[in-house]
Amino acid sequence: MKILVPVKRVIDYNVKPRVKADGSGVDLANVKMSMNPFDEIAVEEAIRLKEAGKAEEIVAVSIGPAKAQETLRTALAMGADRAILVETDDEVEPLAVAKILKAIAEEETPGIVMLGKQAIDDDSNQTGQMLAALMGRPQGTFANTVEVDGDSVVVKREVDGGLETVKLTLPAIVTTDLRLNEPRYASLPNIMKAKKKPLDTKSPSDYGVDTAPRLKTTNVSEPPVRQAGEKVEDVDALVAKIKALGIA
């Protein structure tokens, strides 16, 4: 079985995003960029399935600017076998990303498409579900545990209030949540080896997908700022404050 792992280049999760003064977006100039953390978990899970003998090949895909190559090299250094960059400088919305991924999946015929549940830049949480719909295949979103069992995959999902387990017929789409695994760091020898692994470059038009956005962002602003209140001296003062709130 082949596993397709889409990865996105996003602002590093440790960087505090700055909104541009003109309201046109978030300033990404000279900001550290990394692989979307949920996608790292997806790459790790794919590698673990390969190590367990459940998968033979891992293909990483990224849709984005030329620099998304770095993100793909990271996936290759972690353990993916080859990569496809669908190069575009436009912002591509989840629906168009799902259409491109569908076209790639038709060529590659993976048993599982494993992707992060959401990207930490636009926080859409849509691509996996959309891809599943377009392919007419089942989806296991917010995965906590993934077990491949013959021609199906059993996914334990993080849901409000606990966990839910579903069984999906392969091929299937799985989106990863935080507790699924802890991604490995690529070792230096593997980073060197990754430079020699194959990386194909394509464009959205190669897949016949129109990436014109459906949503227009008319403004981006800072959220309302909360003011710091007062500090109290001791527990008695805190007790008085809490009682004044009428909750005790």
Partner 1 sequence: MKTLVWVEHDNAEMKDATLAAVTAASKLGEVHLLVAGSGCRAVAEQAAKVAGVGKVHLADDAAYEHALPENVAPLIADQMGHHDAFVAPATTTGKNIAPRVAALLDVMQISDILSVEGDKTFTRPIYAGNAIATVESSDAKLVITVRGTAFDKAATEGGSGTIEEITGAGDAGLSSFVSAEIAESDRPELTSAKVIVSGGRALKDAETFEQVITPLADKLGAGIGASRAAVDAGYVPNDYQVGQTGKIVAPEVYIAIGISGAIQHLAGMKDSKTIIAINKDEDAPIFQVADIGLVGDLYKIVPELTEKL
Q: With respect to partner 1, which residue has the nearer C-beta, 89 or 236?
A: 236
For partner 1, how many residues bind (rule: CB under 8 A)? Answer: 78
Q: With respect to partner 1, which residue has the nearer C-beta, 125 or 203?
A: 125
> Does position 145 bind partner 1 by CB under 8 A?
no
Binding mask 100-139 for partner 1 (x = CB under 8 A): --------------------xxxxxxxxxxxxxxx-xxxx
Q: With respect to partner 1, which residue has the nearer C-beta, 108 or 164?
A: 164
Footprint on residues 209-238 left by partner 1 (CB under 8 A): 213-223, 226, 228-232, 234-238
Contact predicate 138/198, CB 8 Å: no
d(CA 228, CA 248): 23
d(CA 74, CA 118): 19
Among 79, 94, 110, 183, binds partner 1 (CB under 8 A): 94
Q: Please return the burial class of 219, using the count of CB atoms within 10 Å of its CB with bins 0-12, 13-18 and 19+.
A: exposed
Q: With respect to partner 1, which residue has the nearer C-beta, 83 or 97?
A: 97
Contact predicate 55/111, CB 8 Å: yes
Among 199, 227, 218, 188, smallest CA distance to 22 is for 218
Q: With respect to partner 1, which residue has the nearer C-beta, 11 or 105?
A: 11
Looking at the DSSP bridge assignments, the partners of residue 59 are: 4, 82
Binding mask 2-31 for partner 1 (x = CB under 8 A): ---------x-x--xx-x------x-----
Least CB distance from residue 191 to partner 1, whole Å?
Answer: 26
Footprint on residues 168-197 left by partner 1 (CB under 8 A): 168-169, 177-179
Torsion angle (degrees, nearest 10) of CA 211, 59, 176, 183: -130
Which helix (H) or strand (E) covers residue 127, if one does? helix 127-135
